[in-house]
A and B are shown apart, each in its own frame.
With several copies, the nearest count.
Chain A
Amino acid sequence: MAMATASTRAAGFTWPNNDLSRAPYRVYTDPDLYALERERIFQGPTWNFLALECELPNPGDYKATYVGDAPVIVARARDGSISAMVNRCAHKGALVCYKRRGNVREFICVYHNWTYDLAGNLTGVAFKRGVAGKGGLAADFQPERHGLEKLRVETCRGLIFGTFSDDTPPFVAYIGAELAANIDRVFPKPLKVLGYHSQILPNNWKLYAENNKDSYHASLLHVFHNTFGVVRPNMGGGVKISNSGWHHLSYTQRVSLGDDEVAREKVRSLQEQYRLKDPRMMEHRLELGDNITNAIQTVFPSLVVQQILNALAVRQIQPKGVDRTELVWTVLGFEDDDEAMKELRLKVNNLVGPAGLISMEDGCVGGWVQRAAKANPDATTVMPMGGRNVEASEGSRITEAAVRGFWKGWRECMGF
């Protein structure tokens, strides 16, 4: 419609100097851009994490989740196939699933009892012939045109992804073989959910998305982190970036480099040396066939795949408004974990999550940017570490290349 909607209001937005190393603060605060992201990013040519296959073991199992801030249902059909559809009745728009999980034969909207099969096709309309020959459906009503809005689904190593767009390439092509390899690496065998965390971030979703791609901050913000050698700038590792620039992997290996650059810096985070009374939460059983201690991978726009020692998780970013974001952690182990391994994972998970000793800072720092951002929406951030472009970096994580890659993806989707 012609009205001044978000898209027309935001239409004039332009990216300053076409420079990926500066982002205007407005991108974090403008409700019109937020509305446009729903349409052009989350409902655009992107793959969005929906659920894990192990969460839907049986036919009829469903889970209600979100893509962007749009409510979505993911379900397993009788034939074992997985479908995803918008959680909005085709009749008057009520949530079809108002419970977060369940097992059903069919979906029944409680408002007027319209029914849908597990793939979202309309199968029944209450009183479609009316009563006593009076009332009932309009003659021209075509049930096949009134199913739930469907998403295209792909799975990868037990992770279920959905997309609204026909143009989105196949998942592996989307993230690239090099990054796909890390998903194979972290999830080599059947998964088991150990539990969930949900963390409310008082900031725009992109500030958290950037944070994950920001390999520069890890050793500087998270002191507990490097004080105990989980990640230190002087360990091996690097940053891989997909050709598109949209996705990344940052990883660490136990390989020592010269300490001198570090010594040269007066890094707050190395000022006090501090020892644990009970180091059991830092134990690491090498289980993935390599010496990588730490691997953080992003799938644009909304997924983070995490390996921190033996703490495995996927993190889903759910925008809840221009300045509010829900981060949903699904914490994982393997089906074949023995009791000792399960106990180890539970202890190591003290490091991550909303109360994580090495991750809690990410919960507040985005809010600090959000609060400062509104001082002047037309000023910009600067991201000059590791140059101005989007290239991978072997052996060093002191770069903002992956963050610049995020903005490349954002601009390509948004058309700015």
Chain B
Amino acid sequence: MTIDSAALDHDLALRLRVEDFYAEYSHTIDDDRLEDWPGLFTENGTYRVTTRENFDSGLPLALIYCDGRGMMEDRISALRTANIYEPHVYCHLTSALRVLGASGGEIRARANFTVLRTMPEGDTTIFACGRYFDRLIEEDGRLKLRERLAVLDSRQVDTLLVVPI
């Protein structure tokens, strides 16, 4: 198989950077460094979590809808200071990452994700699985999410959703 080395380098570099970004996104949440999570988005970035049930029916409702970093920061402050819930941790697994294209400095990517949630008593369950649909751009040398849409396969949320997916 012959390959255009320059194009290859570029594709590889892009893939590498996007993969690293996804890994960093996972570790930021799974390490409970949630104060750093809004910084993975652009100032006006949007973050939505919805279900296949709503998504496939074209229903606009989301479980979480953050329109800009401010709302993301409010969510994090709220879960640190105001909300009551049983402490728990996530383990993110992402797979089937595809960089769908890059144009005008914007990168479109998607991946499958699974979030395993572990409770203090010790039970680990599949809290969520589904698909990320993302638009990323580069800002001062780092990739940031202009948009992340997480579509959960299940209609259901067990107990509550407080930590971002």
Contacts and interface: CB of A to CB of B under 8 A. Distances in A.
Interface of A: 98-100, 110, 193-202, 221, 223-224, 227, 272, 274, 276-278, 280-281, 326, 331, 342, 346-347, 349-350, 353-355, 357, 360-361, 363-365, 367-368
A360 B87 contact: no
B103 interface: no
Which of A195, A224, A357 has the most chain B CB within a 10 Å cutoff? A195
Interface string B110-130: 000000000010100000000
A350 B160 contact: no
25 contacts: A195-B60, A196-B53, A196-B61, A196-B155, A198-B155, A199-B157, A201-B159, A202-B158, A224-B83, A274-B78, A276-B70, A277-B70, A277-B73, A277-B77, A278-B74, A281-B74, A342-B60, A350-B75, A354-B63, A354-B160, A355-B49, A360-B162, A363-B85, A363-B159, A364-B84
Contacts of B155: 196, 198
Contacts of B60: 194-195, 342, 346
Contacts of B87: 99
B123 to A, nearest CB: 9
A320 to B, nearest CB: 9
Interface string B38-69: 00000000000111011001011111111110
B156 A361 contact: no
Interface of B: 49-51, 53-54, 57, 59-68, 70-71, 73-75, 77-78, 81-87, 120, 122, 155-162
Contacts of A197: 51, 61, 63, 157
B131 to A, nearest CB: 18
Nearest to B49: A355
A237 B120 CA distance: 39
A355 B156 contact: no
A99 B86 CA distance: 7
Contact of A350 (B50, B53, B71, B83): B71
